[in-house]
Amino acid sequence: MKYQELIVEFEAKLEALESCNGDVLYKAETGITHTEKCMKHLRRSVVDKGFQSVQDEIWFFKHIKPQIFSKLIYYVKLYNIESKRPRSSSKFQIKYLNNQINKLQVYFNDNLEFYHYYRRGATTLDEQYFVRGKSDLRSPTESFHFFIDEEFSTCQDCTVATIMAFDMLIVYLQQEIEKLESSTENIKINPMKQSSKLFWTGSKTELIELIYALHSSGVINSGTAEIKEMASLFEQIFNIDLGNYYHTFIEIRARKCSKTKFLDRLIEVLNKRFAELDE
């Protein structure tokens, strides 16, 4: 099939991304970028070449496009969920993640008729659902219309992609809940219970710059520690709430002047100290 090579290449990129030890928000952001490029490539191919038959068109919009589009929906929702995830106790995180699962389940309930049609592998309404230019007034007007246009969309290919994406998200969220539940057993003997008497008196941005530098260097846990773990530890040590540190990192990246302003100053003051001791 002419799209198979593109899909294999795309899935190899995502596999490499998922196997790296990066922060989940970085993975989501990078996944969105890869998927958008692939979607645009697919669209150009469909608009320029079209389909040889109605069956080819149905196959594309029922099986090919949703494979890619579902990943875009998955990464966008994952970014949204994880960026708002509370960094408090396991109990509150578990509650938050369970609420997210419930919200995803609502989508299946709202699209129950089509959900059952798709799940049982039915084909009788495929021409209505997966050929461009048709409409389905029974379909709820949910949500992910990043690439919706008459030349590259049908009334239900987005629904298929959303079902696939939400299935993946529910698996991810359940795994995260399991991790939290198993870690609560270890928290009881956590040596960090004693509060620190150290306070960070610089800016939050400076500490975030330092944390990302340490993470990038790979000197903690041989580079396998996640930003989330490191940020949480520094918050405990220095009695500070770093807020949305990923957003702050994006602002640091966008600086017009030096992106390593605080690290540059650390080098400067340490060298000054050496010079003073050598006098």
Is residue 189 predicted with pLDDT exceeding 50? Answer: no
* Same-domain check for residues 47 and 175: yes
pLDDT confidence of residue 141: 45
Parent domain of 57: 4-187
State the sign of the Cα–Cα–Cα–Cα dihedral 199, 204, 205, 207: positive
| Listed residues 187, 222, 249: the one ending a domain | 187
What is the average pLDDT across 174-181?
A: 89
Mean of the per-residue pLDDT values of the chain? 85
* Same-domain check for residues 204 and 155: no
* Same-domain check for residues 250 and 208: yes
At position 58, the amino acid (one-letter code) is I
* Same-domain check for residues 27 and 138: yes
What DSSP string runs through the chain?
-TTHHHHHHHHHHHHHHHHS---HHHHHHHHHHHHHHHHHHHHHHHHHH--SSHHHHHHIIIIIHHHHHHHHHHHHHHHHHHHT---S-HHHHHHHHHHHHHHHHHHHHHTHHHHHHHHTT--TTHHHHSSTT---TTS---S--SS--TTT--SSHHHHHHHHHHHHHHHHHHHHHHHHHHHHHHHTT-GGGSPP-----S-HHHHHHHHHHHHHHT-SGGGT--HHHHHHHHHHHHT----SHHHHHHHHHT-SS-TTHHHHHHHHHHHHHHHHHH-
**Cα–Cα distance measured from residue 233 to residue 240, given in angstroms and rounded to the nearest whole number:** 10
* Same-domain check for residues 215 and 160: no
Is residue 145 predicted with pLDDT exceeding 50? Answer: no
What is the average pLDDT across 132-145?
A: 56
* Same-domain check for residues 52 and 154: yes
* Same-domain check for residues 82 and 208: no
Buried b / exposed e across 72-84, counting CB within 10 Å, b at 16+?
bbbbbbbbebbee
| Listed residues 187, 203, 229: the one ending a domain | 187
Is residue 260 predicted with pLDDT exceeding 70? Answer: yes
pTM over 0.85: no
pLDDT confidence of residue 149: 73
User: For the segment 196-242, what is each residue's pLDDT rounded down to a tens digit?
Assistant: 788 999 899 999 999 999 988 888 887 778 888 888 899 889 888 88
* Same-domain check for residues 128 and 221: no
pLDDT confidence of residue 192: 52
Is residue 249 predicted with pLDDT exceeding 90? Answer: no
